[in-house]
Amino acid sequence: MNYLLHILLFIRYRLFLFCCCYLLFASCDNEGYLHPIIPQQEKETQRILIAYLAGDNSLSPEIEQKIAAITIGFLATDCSQNRLFIYCDRKNASPQLMEISAHTANPRQLLKTYTAQNSASSNVMKQVLNDILNNYSASSYGLILFSHGSAWLPAAGLENPSRGTRSVCIDGEDEMELADFASALPLPNHRKWDFILFEGCYMGSVEVAYELKDKTEAIIASPTEIVSPGMTEVYPSALSYLYQPTPQLERFAQSYFDAWNNKTGDYRSATISVVRTEYLEELALLARAAFLRWKPDTETISSLQCFNRNEWHLFFDLKETLLTANPALKTYVNELWKNIVTYSAATPSFLPGLAYGFTIHTHSGLSCYVPQNEFLYINQGYTQTTWCGTVYQ
């Protein structure tokens, strides 16, 4: 009897030990998950679109409306051939990753809840993208990035053009540098994204486009600020353009522009461009011929079209700047431009009723920086961009 009792106790002990170990390893393996990510079934997916909404900042109130708008737009597409994933980070809430599905009562299918993290970290962005790309595949990929942005400029560079680091995305007080953003974007087998849509201010710059030329086929972006609520009003009717077999980027951009161009007063303020990256190397060679020995004075720089609302001017129209530096390049620039900027539009003015609002007399679709003696720290940061290294050095 005692012998049997010892055997039973031994078995119960081993079973208890096994359960503890199982729970320990299971909890480690699924840490951060509300629902484990289940790899897709064997079926062909035409396009995966990922919306990365980094709103743990002053944009947090826009996140819910933006998710709703993107969801409506997706449900109007052929959901059987396409997928939509949304990562959202907002104030006072845990970041979440969800898939939007047309086949469930609640379209928002929660895949993962993360512990508090810095969504402006390239490592965090890379992890989020890998959480999707390691489990789901498609013939093509698109990315939407929503956050504050300042192109290649130093963090707080608009307010203090003397110090900082280049930023694409902001989380609280933290900012992601342009080069780090590019490093977070690799797709499997060294493929390129079909497009990256920037819903952030000033991202329509040649410095940004050139940094990403090996990462994406095209960019949709604005050389100016984007007035709130940005593209929220456009997603329900125009997101389907991004899911066409050949993405109709120009039609999406035109939908955004038309929506804002039809407004009145200061709300009639918008710029937008579609930039194809295939010929950016050729553009850099032309820019080198124009800029390498060009030393513009203050008066010349002040005459260029500027796209930022500040006392100082940092974002200039690229084509106008090129032709001011070297008018003889006009024929070459115009021919090349047709293959690079396939859509561009701008309202007649930008926030004219506010401080430093401006008239838009020309808009080629890309901005650029012109080095200025009074901005030594910005100039130093500028030398770290791939564009500057190719054009000026």
* pLDDT digits 0-9 by tens, 22-67: 333 333 333 454 454 555 555 679 999 999 998 767 788 899 999 9
Look at residue 114 and tell me whether its pLDDT is greater than 90.
yes
Q: Which two tokens stand for residue 199?
A: 């819903």
Look at residue 312 and tell me whether its pLDDT is greater than 60.
yes
List the end-to-end C-alpha distance of the chain, in Å, as a whole number. Answer: 89
pLDDT value of residue 6: 44
For 253-310, the DSSP string reads HHHHHHHHHTS-GGG---EEEEEE-TTHHHHHHHHHHHHTT----HHHHHHS-B-S-S
* pLDDT digits 0-9 by tens, 321-334: 999 999 999 999 99
* pLDDT digits 0-9 by tens, 136-162: 999 999 999 998 888 888 665 555 665
* pLDDT digits 0-9 by tens, 256-301: 999 999 999 999 999 999 999 999 999 999 999 999 899 999 999 9
- φ, ψ of residue 96 to 5 degrees: the values are -135, 150
pLDDT value of residue 91: 87
Q: Which residue has the higher pLDDT, 226 or 174?
A: 226
Q: Which two tokens stand for residue 98?
A: 């969800």
The model's pTM:
0.87
pLDDT value of residue 154: 63
Domain boundaries, the chain: 47-277, 282-391
Spatial separation of the C-alpha atoms in residues 96 and 110, rounded to whole Å: 7
Side chain identity at 376, as an amino acid letter?
L
Q: What percent of the chain has pLDDT over 70?
A: 83
8 Å CB contact between 202 and 315: yes
Q: Would you tell me which CATH number, out of the four given (3.40.50.11970, 3.60.70.12, 3.90.420.10, 3.40.50.1220), belongs to the domain 47-277?
A: 3.40.50.11970
Look at residue 105 and tell me whether its pLDDT is greater than 60.
yes
**Average predicted confidence (pLDDT) for the chain:** 87
- CB-based contacts of 33: which residues, under 8 Å, 6+ apart? 111, 112, 113
Q: Which two tokens stand for residue 337?
A: 């431009």
Q: Which two tokens stand for residue 125?
A: 């962005």
pLDDT value of residue 121: 85
Q: Which two tokens stand for residue 146?
A: 């929503």
Q: Which two tokens stand for residue 93?
A: 């809430």
Spatial separation of the C-alpha atoms in residues 374 and 372, rounded to whole Å: 6
- Taking residues 5-20, report their average pLDDT: 41
- Taking residues 333-337, report their average pLDDT: 98
Look at residue 214 and tell me whether its pLDDT is greater than 50.
yes
pLDDT value of residue 66: 96
Q: What confidence category does residue 3 fall into, taking pLDDT thresholds of 50, 70 and 90?
A: very low
